[in-house]
Amino acid sequence: MAAANDPIHQFQIVPLIGDGPIAFTNSAFYMGLTVAVITGFLMLATSARTLVPGRFQSLAELSYEFVAKTVQDSAGKEGMKFFPFVFSLFMFILVSNLIGMIPYTFTVSSHLIVTAALALSVFVTVLVVGFAKHGVGFLRLFVPHGIPIFILPLVVAIEVISFLSRPISHSVRLFANMLAGHITLKVLAGFVTMLSAGLGALGLLIGIIPLALAVAITALEFLVAFLQAYVFTILTCIYINDALHPGH
């Protein structure tokens, strides 16, 4: 009963193979599954290499062109150097989110450490590329043009703080969305069973309300799964653009 209705239970990490800190856990399994699904999908979809694409090839081309356009719009032609990285991030988050929508699965991005690691990889990439490309000139990022000198220190301080808080907001946004969505779904679905168990037929009747809500939230969660992957990707592109062109 406790495990069945516990909305937190789904986030538990349990070792599947081995033991100790780096045991192969359910989280690791779903990360691997995500990679396998992405790679398998792209390889199968592009195996025919037809001139007029079929459904799957269209989808593969669509995902490629969608991310490529996002990168080019936000970070310009130069940003295409980071296209494989951005594409991997987008597909990894999107596919793991979608796999997480299947009941009884585990959502990789519902763990802060995973989203934080992804966000930090973007943050570190931006720092490394920014300083490698512009040297100290990268610090111009914190000094916007056309600001009166007497409020400049304040503006620079705000810019520095906002820059440093980027990986936090970047990772917490995705993590919190996935976590909250899955808890909401579980709580609503739990209401249905609890009502029917507690009130019998009447409870089952009342249970229609949380059930309808759960169905509606499920649809919303599919949107959120895509949207959060997209938001993570577009923010990545914007941050990379800062590394490439720091002079606002």
Partner 1 sequence: MFEKIGPSGLYAIMPRDGGSDGLVVLAAAETGAPAETHAATEAHGGAGGHKEPFPPFNSATFAGQLFWLAIFFGLLLWLMSKVALPRVQNILEGRAERIENDLAEANRLKTETDEAIAAYEKTLADARAEGHRIAGEMHEKVSKEAEAHRLKLEDELNAKLESSEQLIAETKLQALGNVRGIAVDAASAIVERLSGKQPAANDVEKAVDASLAA
Q: Residue numbers of the site for partner 1 (CB under 8 A)?
A: 1-2, 5-9, 11-13, 21-25, 27-28, 31-32, 34-35, 38-39, 42-43, 46, 49, 51, 53, 57, 60-61, 64-65, 83-85, 87-88, 91-92, 110-114, 117-118, 121, 175, 179
Name the minimum Å distance from CB 83 to partner 1: 7
Name the minimum Å distance from CB 59 to partner 1: 11
Compute, in degrees rounded to 10, the torsion defined by CA atoms 61, 66, 67, 69.
120
83 or 163, CB closer to partner 1?
Answer: 83
Name the minimum Å distance from CB 154 to partner 1: 34
Place of tokens 């979608």: 98
Name the minimum Å distance from CB 213 to partner 1: 19
Place of tokens 């599954």: 33
Place of tokens 């970047």: 170
148 or 198, CB closer to partner 1?
Answer: 198
- Single out the residue of 94, 112, 103, 116 nearest to residue 182, CA to CA: 103
129 or 141, CB closer to partner 1?
Answer: 129
Long-range contacts of range 147-156, CB-CB < 8 Å, 24 or more positions apart? none
13 or 161, CB closer to partner 1?
Answer: 13
Q: Cα–Cα distance between 13 and 196 in angstroms, integer?
A: 30
Tokens of 33: 């599954």
49 or 145, CB closer to partner 1?
Answer: 49
- Which residues are CB-neighbours of 195 under 8 A, at least 6 positions away? 203, 204, 206, 207, 210
Name the minimum Å distance from CB 147 to partner 1: 39
9 or 248, CB closer to partner 1?
Answer: 9
194 or 220, CB closer to partner 1?
Answer: 194
| Per-residue burial over 133-152, b = 16 or more CB atoms within 10 Å of its CB, e = otherwise | ebeeebeebbeeeeeeeeee
- Single out the residue of 82, 108, 113 nearest to residue 95, CA to CA: 108
Name the minimum Å distance from CB 158 to partner 1: 29
Name the minimum Å distance from CB 92 to partner 1: 6
SS3 state at 15: strand
